[in-house]
Amino acid sequence: MKTKRNGILAAVLILCGALGLTTGCKSGNTNIQQVKGTLEAKVVDDSVPAKVREAMDLAYEGRYEKILDDTASHVSVWSLLRCNPEVSSEGFGIHVVKDKQVTKMPEMRHGNNPKARYDSQSGNLWMACAAMEGTGVLVERLHLLRFHDDGTAYSVATIDPYEMQQALCQRLGFTIDSMNVTFYDRQQALGTVTNTITDMGGFDADDPVWIGEQMSYDISGDSIRVKIVPGIKFTTGLVLHYEEMPTLSAKVSLADDGTFTIGDISFSPEEEVDTYLKAVERYLTDNKGKQYRSGQVCIPYYTVVGVDESNADDIKVWGDFWLDNYNISGDTLLSVSGGSHPGLMHVSQKGESFEVTSFDAVGDGSQFLPTAKKIFGDKFDAFQKVNSDDKKRNEVRRAAVAEYVKSHRLPVKMYKDYGWDPVKF
């Protein structure tokens, strides 16, 4: 059923994800400040403890932790945990093995949670290891290694954390409006976060935003990305605060001579577990949302009337489904289109992912009642109650929009339907 809305709509929550939004918008703001870096110089590793070098000449004896095991390429990487039962390795010591050829790298600091990935096509062995660790501090160094023909490993290039920090500082800027912090890549708005800490005297007037103390790498995909969490400095207190701050990431390209470039800076999407409800949201946004006049943002919302999860190949979700497309104008979402799609969603689960495979839609006009009774069956009375409750639907819509704005860090405070007063949240 595709009903154009003249007034305020409604139904039960959950947001979806058509990005689009304020990210990617050029800014004419001349008050953009550059972020500051906490690292004052290159991060030079301390001298390798002598006991680490001695321990690496001994048998494994359970002292090593395997951090990579690429059995197809016969490549593995091991980090030294302890020199002996009483002496820690102090975070130093890496063994790289290829075709049973062992390369000892006692000088490589690995920290508590090293990562490694081998690309058999390029022959590149990527590693991300902690250069600095402590309370509230995790600073990783990126390493690129390769192998000689005899299987021994050698270091090709690395990125010092200070140099990465400085490259990011040249790109990243911010503006502050009350409790809202908007981040920029040069003049390009990346997104806005709202900091609700009220007992620290407000943001520091001179240099409130810093990066450097939380810097890590994601080497799991085809491209390498550096990830940072900016810290906020308040007028009260001497430490940076990371609560309610976003994770920013950038694509990294490292050449053999050690030079590197960064690009594609963005807010990192938070990792979420997929569910059948998220599949429903994707379907509403990607399928039904495109049947209307397009907007910058699509926000579905709905009330679930019933669910049958007995068959993973055909999870049934009965509901009163709605969606709205919006454009962003200042601090307001302006509704440009939307409608109602009650019915039954058929969802299939494959592993950890879910997908809507078909949708039984309630008909329009004179077909509404007979098709609704057929589709909802013994749930028809519950559906009628939900579908006729405009007040409840408006509450659900408001909650859905507020949650979407928060999760996507949009700098808006209200939404507005044509001819109606704005609704604040």
Encode pLDDT of 304-356 as tens digits.
999 999 998 999 999 999 999 999 888 899 999 999 999 999 999 987 789 99
For residue 22, is pLDDT > 80? no
Encode pLDDT of 119-173 as tens digits.
999 999 999 998 887 766 889 999 999 999 999 999 999 999 999 999 999 999 9
Q: Could you tell me the pTM of the whole model?
A: 0.59
Residue where a domain terminates, one of 240, 267, 294: 267
Q: Are 191 and 317 contained in the same domain?
A: no
Single-letter code of the amino acid located at 157: A
- Mean pLDDT of the residues in the chain: 84
Alpha-carbon gap, residue 173 to 35, rounded angstroms: 5
Q: Are 38 and 180 contained in the same domain?
A: yes
Encode pLDDT of 367-392 as tens digits.
999 999 999 999 999 999 999 999 99
Residue-number span of the structural domain to which 224 is assigned:
33-42+163-267
Out of 25-39, 187-201, 204-218, give the one with best mean pLDDT.
204-218
Contacts of 389 (CB under 8 A, 6+ apart): 10
For residue 27, is pLDDT > 60? no
* In-domain check, residue 8: no
Q: Are 181 and 38 contained in the same domain?
A: yes
Q: Are 78 and 37 contained in the same domain?
A: no
The number of C-alpha atoms within 13 Å of 315 and in the hemisphere containing its C-beta is 19
Residue where a domain terminates, one of 242, 267, 292: 267
Q: Are 286 and 415 contained in the same domain?
A: yes
> Binning pLDDT at 50, 70 and 90, where does residue 30 land?
low
Encode pLDDT of 200-255 as tens digits.
667 777 788 999 999 999 998 889 999 999 988 877 766 677 777 889 999 999 99
Q: Please count the structural domains in the chain.
A: 3
Q: Are 231 and 181 contained in the same domain?
A: yes
* In-domain check, residue 347: yes
Q: Are 294 and 380 contained in the same domain?
A: yes
Q: Are 85 and 191 contained in the same domain?
A: no
Q: Which two tokens stand for residue 317?
A: 């979700």
Q: Are 350 and 238 contained in the same domain?
A: no
* In-domain check, residue 9: no
Residue where a domain terminates, one of 159, 181, 198: 159
Q: Are 391 and 333 contained in the same domain?
A: yes
Bridge partner residues of 65 (DSSP):
79
> Binning pLDDT at 50, 70 and 90, where does residue 8 land?
very low
Q: Are 287 and 240 contained in the same domain?
A: no
* In-domain check, residue 25: no
Average pLDDT over residues 69-81: 91
Q: Are 294 and 321 contained in the same domain?
A: yes
CB 387 within 8 A of CB 319: no
Question: Which uninterrupted H or E stretch holds 121?
Answer: none
Question: Which uninterrupted H or E stretch holds 403?
Answer: helix 390-407
